[in-house]
Amino acid sequence: MYRISALVVVFSCYLFNTSRAQQAAPVKVFTHADTLRGSVTPERAWWDVIRYDISLVPDYEKKFISGANQIGFKVLHPGCFMQIDLQEPMQIQSAIWRELPLKFKRTGNVFIVEFPEELLKGETETLTVQFEGHPREAVKPPWDGGWIWTRDQLGRPWMTVTCQGIGASVWYPCKDYQGDEPDSGASLSVTVADTLVAVANGRLREKKNNSDGTATYTWSVVNPINNYCLLPYIGKYVDIADHFPGEKGLLDVDYWVLDYNQDKAKAHMQPEVQRMLRCFEHWFGSYPFYEDGYKIVDAPYVGMENQSAIAYGNGYQNGYLKRDQSGTGWGNKWDFIIVHESGHEWFANSITAGDLADWWVHEGFTTYSETLFTEYYFGRNAGNAYNHGLRKHILNDEPVIGPYGVNYDGTQDAYYKASSMIHIIRQIIDDDSLFRQILRGLNHTFYHKTIETAQIEQYISQHSNRDFSKVFDQYLRTTEVPVLEYKIEGSKLSYRWTNCVKGFDMPVKIHFGKGRWINPGEDWKSASWYTGKHPEFSVDPNFYINVKKTD
């Protein structure tokens, strides 16, 4: 997901005050409910999700939904108490196992389901959970998650849901934890008035016309999928079918748009999606979900990375709602939502952080995909300028990596600061062929996997043959911007790092007489070069650091 980055909007969305960037972040107090949601509790640890098969009936007029989730799971070790997440005011009506109704008890947004006996290790089981209620309604989607009940420009019902962060349990019962995706995919069957169309992730497997003036659309994915990405779009949709000649063959591409947007979609969306896929397959490797296809769907909010069904609400125009987030002009030369949200197919949907604390892996790499896209089509200088322009949004209010086990995504620096860090790592590697191999290697090695930050760090250090551990510590685990202190005596340059983690030794490219690399440490180092009478000193602007001259 992309959250509006203009500071005034970020502040209003997250209740930041004008001094927050200069002050230490307030201590966040976590509750037992946060732990239940964000950690592997004993009631979660003994079972692994294999598949979700969800049936859903939304009532537009009553803003009410009902349905069932058939949860396929494998027993990892014996257990009989199962945590199922479903947020208030939604209710579980029944939990059925082997045709037996099971007992269950609610604790806030969690239900504990009790099996009559311990299930044995290695068994594959199915639990069917029926649910209903008035789901939380999104007030300002996608930043405020929940169901969206609205109307299109012609006054017809238009429904969907957005739930990144707040979680899929805002509307359906599941194991609402990023570290456990349904390994064998999922299906979503949606019953709506036969005047409407239901679209969801993956491929349309069946449309069934019922005898009561409704129709049931069944969509399914065969790949693992994030819980929060699995959702319906309901409205007066039509399909524009397309294809992309990609690395794994011909990729099915579809544009599901409201009927009155067909001409706009053909003129704007088709070429934008094609060039996005071309660029990202070059940098990241093949699109991760060929089996499920790629589609982009008109949505009543600006955008979201819903796997194989990208939500689109950017008005068929370049920029982000006509704005360039970098302030350089380059961001107005392409459609931000198509680029950013599609970048998440590689980083978020295929490579998924198991804990929300590591969401920089999603947002940092995807924000950097904007730099790569700009460079791919407009040149290296344009990409550098775009990346540099985004730094004005860095807050340094909290460490990028927040506390684990409490479902807390923390600071917006997971976007811009993490992207700047990746750009620094690229400069230090100083070999774009190798850097591209690393990006593609990440997507090959962690294809369809849930990961933690340490795995990404280790992979990059190992395959670049450089130890980037201190760089990761500095930019991900502190709020401090490293300061390069320097002093000049004739042709002698002295330098060191301050305001940094212990052992910080990041090399940096400077200009002193000419372009050159230096390797500062925490202690003063010196070097002399013939530079002429009055050498000027500057740092390559691709490095996100502060510079201080001392006497």
Q: What is the DSSP string of 236-301?
A: SEEEEEEEEEETTEEEEEEEEEEGGGHHHIIIIIHHHHHHHHHHHHHHH-S-TTGGG-EEEEE-SS
β-strand pairing of 492-498 with 483-489 = antiparallel
Question: What number of CA atoms fall less than 13 Å from residue 374's CA on the CB side?
Answer: 30
> Are the C-beta atoms of residues 237 and 256 closer than 8 Å to each other?
yes
Q: What one-character DSSP code corresponds to residue 139? A: S
Q: How far apart are CA 222 and CA 176, in angstroms?
A: 19
**Helix (H/G/I), strand (E/B), else coil: 438:** helix
Q: How far apart are CA 210 and CA 215, in angstroms?
A: 5
* H or E, element range at 477: helix 469-477
* H or E, element range at 496: strand 492-498
DSSP H stretches of helix in 336-412: 336-343, 360-378, 380-389
Domain 483-549 bears CATH identifier 2.10.110:
no
Q: How far apart are CA 458 and CA 444, in angstroms?
A: 15
Question: What pLDDT score was predicted for residue 534?
Answer: 74
Q: How far apart are CA 255 and CA 492, in angstroms?
A: 61
Exposed, middle or buried, 101 (CB in 10 Å: 0-12/13-18/19+)?
exposed
**Which two three-digit tokens encode residue 381?**
């200088």
Question: What pLDDT score was predicted for residue 27?
Answer: 65
**Which two three-digit tokens encode residue 288?**
């991760």
Q: How many CB atoms lie within 10 A of CB 162?
A: 26
β-strand pairing of 197-199 with 203-209 = unpaired
CATH class of 7-29+340-477: mainly alpha
Q: How far apart are CA 273 and CA 289, in angstroms?
A: 15
> Are the C-beta atoms of residues 43 and 83 closer than 8 Å to each other?
yes
Exposed, middle or buried, 322 (CB in 10 Å: 0-12/13-18/19+)?
exposed
Q: Among all chains, which residue has been given the structure tokens 């604390």?
A: 357
Question: What pLDDT score was predicted for residue 11?
Answer: 31
For residue 382, which amino acid is it?
A
**Which two three-digit tokens encode residue 186?**
């999922």
**Backbone φ and ψ of 221, nearest 5°:** -115, 145
Model confidence, pTM: 0.94
> Are the C-beta atoms of residues 62 and 147 closer than 8 Å to each other?
no
**Segment 405-438, tens digit of pLDDT:** 999 988 999 999 999 999 999 999 999 999 999 9
**Segment 29-75, tens digit of pLDDT:** 899 999 999 999 999 999 999 999 999 999 999 999 999 999 999 99
Question: Which among 428, 548, 541, 532 is positioned nearest to 494, based on CA atoms?
Answer: 548
- Spatial strand order of the sheet with 525-528 comes to 525-528, 492-498, 483-489, 546-549
**Helix (H/G/I), strand (E/B), else coil: 39:** coil
Omega within 30 of 0 (cis) for the link into 232:
no
**Helix (H/G/I), strand (E/B), else coil: 214:** strand
Number of H helices, E strands in the chain: 12, 29
DSSP code string of 57-88 = EEETTTTEEEEEEEEEEEESS-EEEEEEE--T
> Are the C-beta atoms of residues 471 and 506 closer than 8 Å to each other?
yes
Q: What's the farthest any 2 CA atoms get from each other in the chain?
A: 90
Contacts of 373 (CB under 8 A, 6+ apart): 276, 279, 280, 334, 339
Question: What pLDDT score was predicted for residue 26?
Answer: 56
Q: How far apart are CA 428 and CA 431, in angstroms?
A: 8
From-to residues of CATH 1.10.390.10 in the chain: 7-29+340-477
Q: Which residues of the chain have pLDDT under 70?
A: 1-27, 531
Q: How far apart are CA 321 and CA 486, in angstroms?
A: 43
From-to residues of CATH 2.60.40 in the chain: 483-549
Question: What pLDDT score was predicted for residue 513?
Answer: 86
- 283-305 burial, b if ≥16 CB within 10 A, otherwise e? bbbbbbbbebbbbbbbbbbbbbb
Question: Which among 37, 185, 175 is positioned nearest to 113, based on CA atoms?
Answer: 175
Question: What pLDDT score was predicted for residue 421?
Answer: 98
Q: Pseudo-torsion of CA 10, 15, 19, 24, nearest 10°?
A: -100
Question: What pLDDT score was predicted for residue 43?
Answer: 98
